[in-house]
Amino acid sequence: MSEEVSQPADDATDSAERAFRAGFVSFVGRPNVGKSTLTNALVGEKIVITSEKPQTTRRVIRGIVHRPDGQLIIVDTPGIHRPRTLLGERLNALVETTLGDVDVIGFCVPANEKIGPGDRFIDERLNDFPRAKKVAILTKIDSASQTEIIDQLTKLGAMREWDAVVPISSTEDQQLDILSEVLLDLMPESPALYENETITDESEDERIAELIREAALAGAREELPHSLAASVDDREEREDGLIEIYASVYVERDSQKGIVIGKGGQRLKSIGETARKGIEELLGQRVYLSIRVKVLKEWQRDPKALGKLGF
């Protein structure tokens, strides 16, 4: 095979002439429409929590897509929703500051669910950010029929004058390259804003804590997600290269502590095993992980506790 040889010469000229672009993009949409999965798929490394449960992404995390002709910095927001607690209010404030600052907003709607009031609520909020270019992203096209996809694209197109409309599947890697290109085309001309190897600027400890939180949430009952937080308390590298990590999982009530720990500690043990595998992949080193479960009463409503957990 001689693919390299047969590559047309003007291809190289083209990309050399195209101006380098860099900028910020944020994906918005109802919970569970696939924002985090999309971020992960574009960046190519697991950095954002995905989960079956709504609203597990609680932090603004940046993922960076490096391309020869530009850089896409993805700001993952917790999602726009009605505030119910102090945590909810802070999350909404975070969304506002984030969106006021991005070059492109990607509005995500799943192909396999009807556009509803939740989508329209968010779409209307996009008017508050006139500076940002707006792209409609139809997600999960692998789980919808051709007719459904076309129907949904028509409805999306009628909502507003989008700068682009792109159907994608993150799990089946459909049209992700096209989406990257479209997003990059809408970015301002700019030199690279981050070093080439940077994938996220979230600290390693925070990423470890997210992995633990994600493991604790997997298979958890509905009542748990909003009351779970995790932190890394201490890290120590042993002489044999093993890294000892001491972490805490916070719940709000004693009853929840029992749920996380499970009968005879079985659930906590499997949480630890799952999280450890993810952390070892992240760090590229063997890990000893110790997790303690602590009750922090009503932490979602307590400013001091929120501060301690980095919100």
The pattern of x and - marking residues 180 through 219 that bind ligand GDP according to CB under 6 A reads: ----------------------------------------
For 106, the token pair is 């990607």
Of positions 18, 31, 115, 148, contacts ligand GDP by CB under 6 A: 31
If one asks whether residue 152 binds ligand GDP (CB under 6 A), the answer comes out as no
Helix axes 266-283, 204-217, angle to 10 degrees: 150
If one asks whether residue 118 binds ligand GDP (CB under 6 A), the answer comes out as no
Least distance (Å) between residue 33 CB and Mg ion: 9
Sole window of 8-16, 33-41, 202-210, 288-296 interacting with ligand GDP (rule: CB under 6 A): 33-41
If one asks whether residue 140 binds ligand GDP (CB under 6 A), the answer comes out as yes
Three-class DSSP labels, 203-230: CHHHHHHHHHHHHHHCCCCCCCHHHCEE
CA distances from 257 to 232, 276, 309 (A): 18, 20, 18
Of positions 26, 50, 98, 200, contacts ligand GDP by CB under 6 A: 50
Distance, CA of 92 to CA of 79 (rounded, Å): 8
Sole window of 18-26, 55-63, 159-167, 197-205 interacting with Mg ion (rule: CB under 5 A): 55-63
Best CA proximity match to 39, nearest among 170, 219, 223, 177: 170
If one asks whether residue 226 binds ligand GDP (CB under 6 A), the answer comes out as no
Cβ-count burial 165-184 (b if 16+ within 10 Å, e if not): bbbbbbeeeebbeebbbbbb
Residues with Cβ < 8 Å from 179, sequence gap 6 or more?
A: 42, 137, 166, 168
If one asks whether residue 34 binds ligand GDP (CB under 6 A), the answer comes out as yes
Of positions 71, 169, 248, 256, contacts ligand GDP by CB under 6 A: 169
Distance, CA of 37 to CA of 47 (rounded, Å): 10
If one asks whether residue 36 binds Mg ion (CB under 5 A), the answer comes out as yes
If one asks whether residue 26 binds Mg ion (CB under 5 A), the answer comes out as no
If one asks whether residue 57 binds Mg ion (CB under 5 A), the answer comes out as yes
If one asks whether residue 37 binds Mg ion (CB under 5 A), the answer comes out as no
Question: Which amino acid, 204?
Answer: E
Given a contact cutoff of 8 angstroms between Cβ atoms, the answer to whether 81 and 56 are in contact is: no
If one asks whether residue 37 binds ligand GDP (CB under 6 A), the answer comes out as yes
Query: In this complex, which beta carbon is closest to ligand GDP, that of residue 34 or of residue 278?
Result: 34
Distance, CA of 65 to CA of 59 (rounded, Å): 19
| 98 interface partner picked from Mg ion, ligand GDP, none, CB below 5 to 8 A per type | none
3-state class of 309 per DSSP?
Answer: coil
The pattern of x and - marking residues 54 through 83 that bind ligand GDP according to CB under 6 A reads: ---x--------------------------
Of positions 69, 96, 142, 302, contacts ligand GDP by CB under 6 A: 142
Least distance (Å) between residue 62 CB and Mg ion: 14
Distance, CA of 14 to CA of 20 (rounded, Å): 12
If one asks whether residue 290 binds ligand GDP (CB under 6 A), the answer comes out as no
H or E stretch at 133: strand 133-139
Q: Which residues bind Mg ion (CB under 5 A)?
A: 35-36, 57
Q: Which residues bind ligand GDP (CB under 6 A)?
A: 29, 31-37, 50-52, 57, 139-140, 142-143, 169-171
